[in-house]
Amino acid sequence: MARGERRRRGTPAEGARIAERVVRGGPARRGGAPRGAVGRAALGVVVLSLALGLSGFWLLAWHRARRAVTLHSAPSALPPDSSSPAVAPDLFWGTYRPHVYFGMKTRSPKPLLTGLMWAQQGATAGTPKLRHTCEQGDGVGPYGWEFHDGLSFGRQHIQDGALRLTTEFVKRPGGQHGGDWSWRVTVEPQASDTSALPLVSLFFYVVTDGKEVLVPEVGAKGQLKFISGHSSELGDFRFTLMPPTHPGDTAPKYSSYNVFWSSNPGLPLLTEMVKSRLRSWFQHRPPGASPERYLGLPGSLKWEDRGPSGQGQGQGQFLIQQVTLKVPFSVELVFESGSARAGERQALAQLAGSLLTQALESHAEAFRERFEKTFQLKKKGLSSEEQVLGQAALSGLLGGIGYFYGQGLVLADMGVEGSEQKVDPALFPPVPLFTAVPSRSFFPRGFLWDEGFHQLVVQRWDPRLTREALGHWLGLLNADGWIGREQVLGDEARARVPPEFLVQRAAHANPPTLLLPVAHMLEGGDPADFAFLRRAFPRLHAWFSWLYKSQAGPVPLSYRWRGRDPALPTLLNPKTLPSGLDDYPRASHPSASERHLDLRCWVALGARVLVRLAEQLGEAEAAAELGPLAASLEAEESLDELHWAPELGVFADFGNHTKAVQLKPRPPQGLVRVVGRPHPRLQYVDALGYVSLFPMLLRLLDPNSSRLGPLLDVLADSRHLWSPFGLRSLAASSPFYGQRNSEHDPPYWRGAVWLNVNYLALGALYHYGHLEGPHRARAAKLHSELRANVVGNVWRQYQATGFLWEQYSDRDGRGMGCRPFQGWTSLVLLAMAEDY
């Protein structure tokens, strides 16, 4: 809890009572003479002033609170109804539920959702493990997309114990509602031994949100022939679950069927509802084989009894078909849109069987060709295994794109940092968000500073997807120009977030990494990008203006992250979550005197990009406003004056700091921070690491700068930042290196290798290695060596584990943190392609 929230603030009624007490208890005039008209008038002025002051404060607070949850008035960066099937039919359906192993939905506030669950029957005593949502500790893996083009096709492999699942989808355009699509789910044994093939249940489901109508047609033994439906967005549609077959064959395979239909319990509760309804009295009886008992859903076939349940209350429906059979097998689910022209529909064969196989293979081959044309890994001499890694990196990122809709919780900025004011969070207006996610298992939602790095990769593959994502993020702008750093929109997203992270604070910023793909757009010359930037400019300008004004530091041209943790006795170094670098060491004693180097560099980069954009668009007023700021921030003398630490020989933060802090056991509290001598004082912060490199990372230094050499020295020194696996986040020589921040908070940005910053370093080294200057040859050599270290380690860990990881150990290179982490770790693809 922030320091300013811990004491209860006075209410307006209390303020009035305070003023009343002043009236009643005001001192007598000097000498004890009774109050006359003048005295009463004077007291009246005092009372009025107090009352007006208090009411004025509350009016200001109310105004700030309202602006925090009011959408910005600038026109949208995207066309009207940009997510609708009328405007973008090819993007309407997609795998936009990244937190489930396999599922699709529409880009709609009230979507039609589909998904897959599965369970291996009889594997262990008790209830089988029902797989549905991606989880860190469920034992599934590796898993991930082999191919995904972000639009119309994907193939994913999932290992689950003795099983190997392959989930595939392909879309076919047509009509006015997003066209058709088909799934194929193949389940095979991992081992070649087929003497004891497991019995497996697949659960295919459809969920509506209250406005769609579903009409199932049931055949014999609980098998759904098809599901007809209608909604205002989709028109008429039909689902057909095809009979299971042997993989690669057309002969049907014996299966047992169960159905279940109920009102929608809420998306976060789907898994538990299915678990709770499974019963053990069903038997799988293939001809000529012994029957096997399995857990199944005891569904009613009296659909007319079920249909009204919840439907008239806007609750929606949950319809699920369970298919149980022996592996190996394949099952196909076909969705057909009724809006295709009648003649076209009659001419088109159902996208199933051999036609589906042909479509999948055609898309896979087109993906491979487009991938090589875009990234040229084969041409650059990378091995076929490294090319597979690159394809998986891209596909995992594209397959992790989600569409979210909902209301976040926002705590307004009251304008006085650290004030003792109690303010309740308020709901932000309902907004959509089309975004990639850092991790399907651990962070399946939008993160602002991650998304800029995500879009650097997506942009090279499909610039249109990047415009869509950036336009949606800019649509989150509030009236002040603020965007929340973590977007928790909708029930499914909210269910996976700890309560303490649900509320976003309108005073807290995040690195403006969305400007990285904007800068790339400016260099590319794509007319569609330029048209987008013209529409987006008012919002980009408002966002950047809020950033540099709200995060201003104690002296001109200095900047300070708002929102550091308070100096609690259990924290070694209070974290700075808004910076994105979380527990990276800052000044030991947080204060308003801090100057944060990384933030100043982000603001300098932002000013440079916005000025260039304003000039290209002919936005003279904005260029005149930001031009002097950009020029001042580009001046190396100013950077030196505020952040060059002669005693450290590098750039650094500045603040109230001492190195004499450590965690020591103190029963019964556990580990407690102890501050020794020398006592904290205003000085440069000795925390050599990623922050120290930011003037170079963002290419703010002139190639002839006298400061570039020392930065290359510490970067290349294995005693500091260099490791065989990439650059460490914190120097091995730092007293904070590898240190936990509290008893229950292990090190995060205190030595581990992170791909996003290593990618920035590679881009900077490549940049300075191609410019005339005294460090050209050395920068080029370091680029080559660092690229080999980073790419080689990510590839080895992928070969060993099948995952891209959140971070990598600087000691042995092993993957750490959550997995799969196919957010910014997918930047390994651009490193392989040498595309910076």
Tell me 60's DSSP state: H
Name which of 672, 719, 656, 729 is nearest 697 in CA terms: 729
Q: Which residues are CB-neighbours of 40 under 8 A, at least 6 positions away?
A: none
Residue 634 CB neighbours (<10 A): 16
Name which of 31, 315, 328 is nearest 187 in CA terms: 328
Residue indicated by tokens 């950009």: 630
Name which of 543, 524, 516, 695 is nearest 622 in CA terms: 543
Q: Which residues are catalytic?
A: 582, 806
The DSSP annotation for 195-237 comes to: TTPPEEEEEEEEE--SS-EEEEEE-GGG-EEEEEEEETTTEEE
Residue indicated by tokens 């020591």: 664
Tokens of 253: 């395979």
Give how far Cα 49 sits from Cα of 43, 44, 414, Å. Answer: 10, 8, 21
| Chain centroid to CA 113 | 21
- Helix (H) or strand (E) holding 608, with range, is helix 597-617
Q: How far apart are CA 613 and CA 190, in angstroms?
A: 54
Tell me 565's DSSP state: P
Q: What angle do CA 404, 511, 624 make, to 5 degrees?
A: 110
Give the end-to-end CA distance of the chain in Å, rounded to a whole number.
40
3-class DSSP assignment, residue 501: helix
The DSSP annotation for 543-556 comes to: HHHHHHHHTB-SST
Residue 654 CB neighbours (<10 A): 23
Give how far Cα 157 sits from Cα of 164, 193, 637, Å. Answer: 7, 20, 54
Q: How far apart are CA 183 and CA 163, in angstroms?
A: 19
Q: How far apart are CA 391 and CA 588, in angstroms?
A: 43
Q: Which residues are CB-neighbours of 564 under 8 A, at least 6 positions away?
A: 574, 575, 576, 586, 590, 594
Q: How far apart are CA 265 and CA 283, in angstroms?
A: 28
Q: How far apart are CA 740 and CA 573, in angstroms?
A: 10
Give how far Cα 50 sits from Cα of 35, 81, 441, 675, Å. Answer: 20, 50, 54, 42
Q: Which residues are CB-neighbours of 129 under 8 A, at least 6 positions away?
A: 119, 120, 123, 138, 139
Name which of 535, 543, 670 is nearest 606 in CA terms: 543
Tell me 822's DSSP state: -
Q: Which residues are CB-neighbours of 25 under 8 A, at least 6 positions away?
A: none
The DSSP annotation for 406-462 comes to: E--EEE---SSTT-------EEPPPEEEEE--SBTTTB-SEEHHHHHHHHHHHHHH-
Q: How far apart are CA 703 and CA 770, in angstroms?
A: 10
- Helix (H) or strand (E) holding 815, with range, is strand 815-816
Tell me 574's DSSP state: -
